[in-house]
Structure formats: C-alpha cells, structure tokens
Structure 1
C-alpha cells in the first residue's frame, strides 16, 4: 500500500512545472506593474517641462494650435501633428501664428 502513497515522478514533474509557470506569471505581472508605475512617475516628473532647460512650459493657444513655450530659454515645442496644422492653415494662417510666436520672444 505504500506504493500508492508516493506520487509518480511524472506527477511531481507536472506539479513542479505548474508551480514554475505560476511563479513566472506572477513575476511578469509584477514587472509590468513596476514598468507602468515607473512610466507614470517619469511622466509626472517631466510633464510640461522644457526638454532644453527643464523649466515649466506654458501653453499658448494660437488659432487651433496649442504651442508649448518656455519663457526661460525661448524654446517653442509642438506636439505631434501641430506643425501640420500650422502648415494647413496656409501662408496667411501660419504667418500669423508664427508671427505671434516670434512676438512673444522679442527682446525689449
């Protein structure tokens, strides 16, 4: 009867593989959660900061386009697709927008 109490080696291997797979999935989930948290932390640390000097960016609306500007280093930053919007406004529209942007940084 002692023969039946002892699990076979294939059973032990099966449960060992199952245990390893559970631990692997748990580690993967923890890694993903950590990566998500790190991305959020980085976003919060760098959001609306000038990539050149690190100062706060200010959003200025010029027509349909919102331009992020840095008054410290006079940097002008456009989000994806905003340059195309300026170009689509035509020479008159882009001239007005760019003229307004350039006026912001004229030294007195």
Structure 2
C-alpha cells in the first residue's frame, strides 16, 4: 500500500479540531436555547404577579398611564418610565392620576 493513502497526523489533528469546534458550537447553541426557554418559563410564571404577595396584578388606565395594582395587598406598581410620565403631566394631570390611584385604595 502506498503512503499517500494514509492520512498524516497533522491532517488527523486538523479534522479532530474541526470536529471539536463543531461540537463546542452546538453545545453553546443548545445552552443559549435552554437559557432562553428558562427565561420564557420564568416570565410566564411571574408575569403580572404582585412582587409582594404573589397575587394577580390588574391594569388600570389613568390618563395616559397604565398602573398595575394588586387588590389583595393594595400595592401599586409602575413600569419603566410611567412615574416620569406622571410627573411630566404636571400638577393638574399628575395630580389627577395620583388622586385617582389613591382613591382606589381608600378604606371605607
């Protein structure tokens, strides 16, 4: 048999490195997909749940702002930028929104 039919050791090393790199990329891709799936599961588990008591949050529209409220513990939760939006509305608009929010939780 001729020597040229047999792969050289450098050729074998090259293909071994290529195979390892493919497997590494596949493992990274699978890890990313698993992490994304876990994030989605956690979001579904905790989405619109009160951070204080765990009950469902209800969305109330007051002016241009949607406020997440918990009727169990009377918590009021604002999303990013909503507080700034209330402040920008000034005393007349912001006061009305905050007054309406406070009226929701007055005890009778």
TM-score (norm 2): 0.97
Which residue of 2 is the match for residue 98 of structure 1? 98
Which residue of 1 is the match for residue 71 of structure 2? 71
C-alpha distance in structure 1 between counterparts of 2:89 and 2:100, whole Å: 14
- Residue 94 of structure 1, CA deviation: 1.1
Deviations 1:23-71 (A, max 9, x none): 0010011001001100110000000000111000000000000000001
Which residue of 2 is the match for residue 23 of structure 1? 23
Moved over 2 A (4+): none
Deviations 1:7-35 (A, max 9, x none): 10100110000000000010011001001
TM-score (norm 1): 0.97
C-alpha distance in structure 1 between counterparts of 2:14 and 2:45, whole Å: 46
C-alpha distance in structure 1 between counterparts of 2:92 and 2:53, whole Å: 32
Q: Is residue 58 of structure 2 the alignment partner of residue 58 of structure 1?
A: yes
Q: Is residue 107 of structure 2 the alignment partner of residue 107 of structure 1?
A: yes
RMSD, aligned α-carbons:
0.8
Q: Per the alignment, in what secondary structure is the counterpart of residue 71 of structure 1?
A: coil
C-alpha distance in structure 1 between counterparts of 2:43 and 2:15, whole Å: 42
Gapped runs of 5+ residues in structure 1? none
C-alpha distance in structure 1 between counterparts of 2:45 and 2:39, whole Å: 10
C-alpha distance in structure 2 between counterparts of 1:93 and 1:50, whole Å: 26
Q: Per the alignment, in what secondary structure is the counterpart of residue 56 of structure 1?
A: coil
